Structure 1
Amino acid sequence: MTADTTTDVFETHRPVLMGVAYRMLGRVADAEDVVQDAWLRWSAADRSEVREPRAYLVRVVTRLALDRLRRIKDRGEAYVGPWLPEPYVTDFGGTVPDTAERAVLADSVSLAVLVVLESLSPLERAVFVLREAFGFPYAEIAAMLERAEPAVRQLGARARKHVDERRPRYDVDPAQRRELTERFLAAAAEGDLKGLMALLAPDARLVGDSGGRAKAPLRVLESADKVGRFLVAVANSGVPDLSVRFLEVNGGPAVLVLSGGKPDSVFQLDVVDGRIQSVYIIRNPDKLRSLAA
């Protein structure tokens, strides 16, 4: 392969590689580092012996992500308050024309599912991501992980059972989520408690991720009343030079709140039966850097 061909092949598969790495790690910067390391290995490899570049590159990225994930878990990193994945801007656009496939990809990268994936072992997480999100056959996953296929099938079954038991049952309707997000934003900005209560499910919850670096609840808020009153208090406190921007994050509509043109927070909602079930707020500045552009 020429240098241009080498680059073209890698860039063709970059979205898949980034998708695998992010779902494995839940951190955009870590995923980008892994993909960059994969590029260095790809550019130095003897590509004349690579029959399937996509499978080869996914194998490299998976192993690099596994190594990084194990190091993170081995360090036993303490985190202040609830943890949410770093928001990942997603725009499947014309690359995923099939509605069912888009729904699978959106679900596998949702904040709620990624929180559940944090409780899996690194190997379980790798098998789940490769099988459930990207549809790799078990035989191919076994080769990537250098494990026997029966063992990989067991890992996959255990991971799927764990995720299914803990995965929230949310409606996947982007148009409805966008409409409710707009109404939620208007009510929250006006400090309209009555309006918020009309949108929130009675058992609504709010998960705020600040990492101790910004103001946010250090525990999950449970019940529409607590969530609504917290949001009204936030509105009353005000954000200097506030502006907002809609974007697609983790497969669904979200709101980026800016203060003085710089990212302050990201809001995203999960919806069940036309009511807001969960409110996610990410305020950790380290997790908002990728949204600064």
Structure 2
Amino acid sequence: MNPLDGKIRSGQAAHARQPLPAVLGMDLAGTIEALGEGVSGWLPGDEVYAMATGIGGAQGSLAQFAVVDARLLAHKPGNLSMRETAGLPLVLITAWEGLVDRARVRAGQKVLIHGGAGGVGHVAVQIARAFGAEVFATGSAGQQAIIESFGATFIDYRKSSVEDYVAEHTGGEGFDIVYDTVGGETLDASFKAARVYEGHVVSCLGWGQHSLAPLSFRAATYSGVFTLLPLLTGKGGEHHGQILRDAAKLIEAGKLKPLLDPRQFTLQTAEAAHELLAGGAAQGRLVIEI
């Protein structure tokens, strides 16, 4: 489950509103039951995962069966369970698009992830490390152990100012990449943390009104990530499938894993999962098993 599922359910996500009656659920992992006419490269029985449903008019994955655009599919990583795999697609694609596609993360860079214990954040930390970057991540004191378990240097955003952690961790130079997964004031702080000339700020929640002046005075770069575009426009689906295939190699190499909430839910208890997500009480990704 993703926070957007809850927003669609409550009518808050105008850009992703579904026609009623609607079946929610964007992420899935499962087994191919049958192939549509003209579909090649797949066989019944293949285990797959994707972000492919529950938006753009397509019925969602909270069901026993789902009709999926084959371009969006990738083979399930062999070392993860279906439950683990189902918790990855949207956050994995979002993190990958920001770090790999937009910012071109590479070895030797210093990368700052805002919200390093969150859905997108904990995956972004692992991707950056897998590409050889030195990773730092912000969070609250209670999230320190999670962030450090994924190999990032923890920064308590409540105790350290932007100026403080930029000075401490970059000698005042700024970070090569700053990925904002929080939005609002955190995006404004990101502009101040970027390296002069070469810095790149990426955000998956850059929807508010922000002054670009701090970033412009650094002659740095900004990129936005809007992961839903292929489902809303029908364009770019092949690339999402390729991201999941490329990421599966990192997963099978032991460099990437999801953080799941230990509580388990079924289709019959999905309402409780929605309430948990809406209340901000999830301790990792929430997955519905059907």
TM over 0.5: no
TM-score (norm 1): 0.25
TM-score (norm 2): 0.25
Q: Which has the higher helix share?
A: 1
Larger radius of gyration: 1
